[in-house]
Amino acid sequence: MVETILVPLLKAAVLVNAILVSVTFLVLMERKVIAWAQSRLGPMRAGPYGVLQALADPIKLILKEDITPAKADKFVFTLAPILSLVPALVAFAVVPFGPDPLYYISDINVGLLFVISVTSIGVYGIILAGWASNSKYPLISSLRASAQLISYEIAVTMILVSVILTAGTLSLVGIVEAQLESGFWFGFIQPVAFVILFIGGLAETNRVPFDLPEAETELTGGFHTEYSGMRFSLFFLAEYANIIVISALVVIMFLGGWLRPFPNVEALAFLDIVPAWIWLIGKVFFILYIFIWLRATLPRYRYDQLMSLGWKLFIPIAIGNLVLTAIAKVAF
């Protein structure tokens, strides 16, 4: 009774709190990194070197007035941010942070399929937010976001199928163990898949250079133009929670998860002194840093360029990569 109900609930509570805290400090990290890239200091007033800005922002959002537009569909308007955040949090249920069962809530044999299915629900929150706002800009933004996510999800799913063929399992723990058995991270075995999954992750989380749904110069504030206060903060949390999910997925699929570099090389055995969960979190932070670095560096794509890249380049490459992986699996 205790092991089957209370332990998973305790793990879930700890994990959700850890994610929410991580999101607040990820926002601070993003503001600082972009400021340094632009020769600025970034937040400096709240606490030493602006560290307490991570607490000041959520407190400010919670205390702001929560306004509902007069002509909005009030129920759907409230439901939309919840529908965006919950799938991002639920996806973490099968994300392993280490080899021991202590480091994950559940290791189901279709873990990767579960993550793909759950995260794809989040787009409904964006569509409903645009429609329920009863405003032109959010509606255009939500249509852009849904088209963008569907376009890139095809390529990303095909890439993940090629990883499944390579590993021989849908379990996220099993995929990391397959990399341990092969002696190489799948990033070395499937470099094309690694690049496409990362770029597809940028597109699916609406990040630069694929942030067309939130293009301030065209659409004011995107699908959350009409949102304020706590409901706006839920969209904020959903975006950054999705970024952490994608980063964790990239690390588990291609960077060995909690494994050290070249796990079968005895000369590097001294690296085993570093706990497994620190390896995984360190790699996730590296991917998160690249997300932020790209935002500080790259301009935004035009919408037609974005769709052409997805349909004319990534999907054909993903199909080709899948076919080559299947041939290699049969041949070797």
How many domains does the chain divide into?
Answer: 1
Dihedral in degrees, nearest 10, Cα atoms 130, 22, 27, 215: -30
Which region, left, alpha or beta, applies to residue 104 given φ > 0 means left and ψ of -120 to 50 means alpha? beta
Buried b / exposed e along 83-122 (16+ C-beta atoms within 10 A):
bbbbbbbbbbbbbbbbbeeebbbeeeeebbebbbebbeeb
**What is the model's pLDDT at position 155?**
93
Does residue 199 carry a pLDDT above 90? Answer: yes
DSSP 123: H
pTM of the predicted model over 0.95: no
Contact status, residue 194 vs residue 108, Cβ threshold 8 Å: no
**What is the model's pLDDT at position 159?**
94
**Domain carrying residue 149:** 2-331
**Mean pLDDT score of the chain:** 90
pLDDT digits (tens, 9 = 90+) for 158-183: 999 999 999 999 999 999 999 999 98
**What is the model's pLDDT at position 325?**
95
Categorize the per-residue pLDDT at 1 as very low, low, confident or very high, splitting at 50, 70 and 90: low
User: φ, ψ for residue 18 (rounded to 5)?
Assistant: -65, -40
Does residue 294 carry a pLDDT above 90? Answer: yes
Kindly give, in sequence order, each residue whose CB lies less than 8 Å from that of residue 243, ignoring residues fewer than 6 positions away.
Answer: 26, 205, 207, 288, 291
Percentage of residues of the chain with pLDDT beyond 70? 98
Alpha carbon separation from 147 to 42, 212, 306 (Å, rounded): 34, 11, 10
More confidently predicted of 283 and 68: 283
pLDDT digits (tens, 9 = 90+) for 38-51: 999 999 988 898 88
Contact status, residue 125 vs residue 77, Cβ threshold 8 Å: no
Does residue 329 carry a pLDDT above 80? Answer: yes
pLDDT digits (tens, 9 = 90+) for 231-257: 889 988 999 999 999 999 999 999 999
Categorize the per-residue pLDDT at 2 as very low, low, confident or very high, splitting at 50, 70 and 90: low
Q: Which residue has tokens 């250079």? A: 209
**What is the model's pLDDT at position 286?**
96
Encode 233-246 in three state secondary structure: HHHHHHHHHHHHHH
